[in-house]
A and B are shown apart, each in its own frame.
Chain A
């Protein structure tokens, strides 16, 4: 039935999706705007000081647009945010957009490293736990996952620094590079590992690697917990199906069935889980970056917070919201695109 009006159906679905995205975007903007207006301190006094006379006060009040009706203020806020400028960050003196462009690659590098760990270990662990359900291996996997859910990532970071950096000297300390290497590399992509590899500067590459291993692994641990748990439950669902029994009865080996049949059927579900895990990494990155003095997005946000720079904070919160929603949408779209059962 879907075929004849396929194009129209697609259009309607796309429009509906676009409408839903627009409403969500509006919501993100509204909430961040609302946050900005919750400030218990008068932003005008924060700028001009307590002693300012009435005329100065009124002037700044007017410049900030606070004399306009709330709806107008909101529209101005939306314009600032959607133009991609996000206004000035008072604590760095740059445009927020410029700052974000500078700090984002560091976070992308960290989060990508983390997701590689999460997927690389989490998926096999989940598959093994499902195949050997109830075995010690399954219990270990469950315990590892539970610990990942329950531990404060920033604390794991501190402990990691004490043990692997201060005591064992196995990894690099805070930051992305040792001080002596900073400025040795021409930033092209902003991803240090990639830049160093492109230049063939393996000394810098090794140094950068020694710095990213610890924060990346600790950040990856949280997503490992999530990914392995989801993989296990997806696999269990598949392994209980009749077609698995049929394939086994046909004489296929256990692992061949797992590889060729069961795993193939959970790939799409896994992909959406991984997209979501990546989104949650951004949240973890805020604390991990603070612990490791990692000059990325999360540390930018917390520095802005501590400096009381609402403009920068709101922009960051909004951007994380937008990335979060986009990754959700991508996960959704992937699911629909790749899984024939949803068509």
Chain B
């Protein structure tokens, strides 16, 4: 154990892998030394575990109805109470974690590459390409995110897939702007000139030499934006435009729980807490990640 640690702390690294591991190790130490960021990290790990183990934690599933057990307050049997159809809210929250992870991962997987592609292309080529791409970018940025997503979902029709597309359409512009700014500083550097002299084409330069340099800041940006993405997804669900019942999406649970919430506060309180906790965790973790990944903050 201690030899592994000494190896990781070696002053001179012996291989690229060694250097990379060392970097990861120091990043990990920095993250651990920031209690709030680490707490956010732990919450997110917990969320993933809960989602992965949903069939074990709540084996009955999220749609097990029992009208005799309607609107029961939290108890030892039903930790978070039951809803208007007698379904266990704890089980629904647990299974709902899967939806949250599904939405946020998919949005990140769609929006980050689009943003990276647009931003690096605009930044590398400059001139007209830059002007046109950034104008399009500005157009998307001139709507508040939720409003734009609302418009797209209204056009596409409600549903979880369309909600993901709509949110991704609103999530890429800030990433593109960031990637462009990074590219502008990178493209003038000597190593890019060296690669170009060796005969590399624009595509190769962008993909192999510029994109990897943009990834850390994009990851931080996406993590920080994830909190907003989760709130937008929940908002769409609440308005009935995202995941449809009986899917246990947390926002949709709030919207169906509304009719009974004055008599049964837990129906509204619990899913909201879950949303709050997740978005808080992303905010905390994103802040910490910025300190770890952004070399300028050292």
Establish whether residues A162 and B262, one from each chain, have CB atoms under 8 Å apart when the complex forms: yes
Q: Could you say which residues of chain A place their CB within 8 Å of the CB of B240?
A: 306
What are 15 A-B contacts with C-beta separation under 8 Å? A24-B139, A27-B135, A27-B136, A38-B152, A38-B155, A38-B156, A146-B284, A147-B276, A149-B279, A155-B272, A158-B258, A158-B268, A310-B154, A313-B151, A321-B143
Min distance, Cβ B213 to any Cβ of chain A, angstroms: 27
Alpha-carbon distance A308/B156, docked complex (angstroms):
11
Question: With A and B bound together, what is the CA distance between A308 and B136 in angstroms?
Answer: 27
Q: In the complex, what residues of B have CB within 8 A of residue A306's CB?
A: 239-240
Residue of B136, B144, B262 touching A279 (CB-CB under 8 A): B144
Separation in Å of the B252 CB from the closest CB of chain A?
12
**A282 and B147 alpha carbons, distance in the complex (Å):** 9
Known: A38-B156, A39-B155, A162-B261. A155 touches B254 (CB 8 A): yes
Interface membership of A32, Cβ < 8 A: yes
B119 within 8 A of A: no
**Chain B residues positioned under 8 Å from A155 (CB to CB):** 234, 254, 268, 271-272, 275-276
In the complex, whether B269 has a CB less than 8 A from a CB of chain A is yes
Within 8 A of A (CB), among B227-248: 227, 231, 234-235, 238-241
CA distance A321 to B145 in the complex (A): 10
Q: Enumerate B116-172 residues with CB–CB distance to A below 8 Å.
A: 135-136, 138-140, 142-148, 150-152, 154-157
Chain B interface residue count, CB cutoff 8 Å, equals 43
Q: Is A209 an interface residue (CB 8 A)?
A: no
Q: Which residues of A contact B284 (CB under 8 A)?
A: 146
Q: When chains A and B are docked, how far (Å) is the Cα of A308 from the Cα of B155?
A: 9
Q: Which of B148, B227, B239, B269 contacts A305 (CB 8 A)?
A: B239
| Partner pick for A283 among B144, B156, B241, B251, CB 8 A cutoff | B144
The 6 tightest CB contacts between A and B, nearest first, are A27-B139, A155-B272, A283-B144, A150-B280, A38-B155, A317-B151
Chain B residue numbers with a CB within 8 Å of A325 are 142
B265 within 8 A of A: yes
Interface residues of B in 191-241 (CB under 8 A from A): 227, 231, 234-235, 238-241
In the complex, which residues of chain A have a beta carbon less than 8 angstroms from the beta carbon of B100?
none
Q: In the complex the two chains form, is B254's CB within 8 Å of A154's CB?
A: yes
Q: Taking the nearest CB of chain B, how far is it from the CB of A161, in angstroms?
A: 8
A64 interface residue per 8 A CB criterion: no
Question: Cβ of B150 and Cβ of A305 under 8 Å apart?
Answer: yes
A314 within 8 A of B: yes
Cβ proximity bits B253-279 to A, threshold 8 Å, 1 near / 0 not = 010001001100100110110011001
A36 at the B interface (CB under 8 A): yes
CB-CB < 8 A to B104: which residues of A? Answer: none
Q: Contact check: which of B138, B154, B227, B235 meets A27 at CB < 8 Å?
A: B138
Contact for A286 among B147, B156, B254, B262, CB less than 8 A: B147
B239: chain A residues at CB < 8 Å are: 287, 290, 302, 305-306
Which residues of chain B have C-beta atoms less than 8 A from A23's C-beta?
135
Q: Do A283 and B140 have beta carbons less than 8 Å apart?
A: no
Q: Are A324 and B148 CB-contacts (below 8 A) given A152-B276, A159-B269?
A: no
A28, B275: Cα distance in complex, Å: 31
Is residue B82 within 8 Å, beta carbon to beta carbon, of the partner chain? no
Cα distance A28–B235 in the bound complex, in angstroms: 23
For the complex, is B283 an interface residue (Cβ under 8 Å from A)? yes
Q: Which residues of A contact B271 (CB under 8 A)?
A: 155
Q: How many residues of A sit at the interface, in one of the four size bands?
A: 35 or more
Q: Assess A158 versus B143: contact at CB under 8 Å? Given A38-B152, A152-B234, A305-B154.
A: no
Within 8 Å by CB of B146, from A40, A286, A314, lies A286
* Cβ B142 vs Cβ A162 within 8 A: no
A320 interface hit (Cβ, 8 Å): yes
In the complex formed, the residue of B with least CB distance to A20 is: B138
Binding site for A on B (CB under 8 A): 135-136, 138-140, 142-148, 150-152, 154-157, 227, 231, 234-235, 238-241, 251, 254, 258, 261-262, 265, 268-269, 271-272, 275-276, 279-280, 283-284
A208 and B4 alpha carbons, distance in the complex (Å): 68
B154 touches A35 (CB 8 A): yes
Residues of chain B contacted by A280 (CB below 8 angstroms): 144
CB distance from B122 to the nearest CB of A (A): 16
Q: What does the 1/0 interface line of A21-54 toward B look like (CB < 8 Å)?
A: 0011001101110011011110000000000000
Nearest residue in A to B273 (C-beta to C-beta)?
A155
Is A301 interfacial (CB 8 A cutoff)?
yes
A158 touches B150 (CB 8 A): no
**CB <8 Å contact, A154 and B139:** no
Question: Knowing A35-B152, A302-B239 touch, does A150 contact B144 (C-beta < 8 A)?
Answer: no
Question: Does A76 interact with chain B (Cβ within 8 Å)?
Answer: no
Q: Within the assembled complex, what's the spacing in Å between the Cα atoms of A290 and B272?
A: 16
What is the CA–CA distance of A283 and B235 in the complex, to the nearest angstrom?
A: 11
- A151 close to chain B: CB less than 8 A: yes
Q: Judging by beta carbons under 8 Å apart, are A32 and B150 in contact? A: no
Residue of A at shortest CB range from B255?
A154
Which chain B positions have C-beta within 8 A of A38? 152, 155-156
| Cβ–Cβ contact A152 & B150, under 8 A | no
Contacts A27-B139, A32-B151 given: A287-B238 contact, CB under 8 Å? Answer: yes
Contact A150 B139 (CB under 8 A): no
Determine whether the beta carbon of A317 is less than 8 Å from that of B265: no
Q: B residues within 8 A CB of A27?
A: 135-136, 138-139, 142
Compute how far the CA of A333 lies from the CA of B138 in the bound complex, rounded to whole angstroms: 18
Q: Which residues of A contact B234 (CB under 8 A)?
A: 152, 155
Residue in B258, B265, B269, B272 whose CB lies within 8 Å of A152: B272
- Check if A24 sits within 8 Å of B272, measured CB to CB: no
**A246 interfacial by beta-carbon distance below 8 Å:** no
Q: A27-B136, A27-B138, A158-B254 are in contact. Are A149 and B235 (CB under 8 A)?
A: no
A72 on the B face (CB < 8 A): no
A271 CB to closest chain B CB (Å) equals 20
Q: Which of A287-340 contact B (CB under 8 A)?
A: 287, 290, 301-302, 305-306, 308, 310, 313-314, 317, 320-321, 324-325, 328
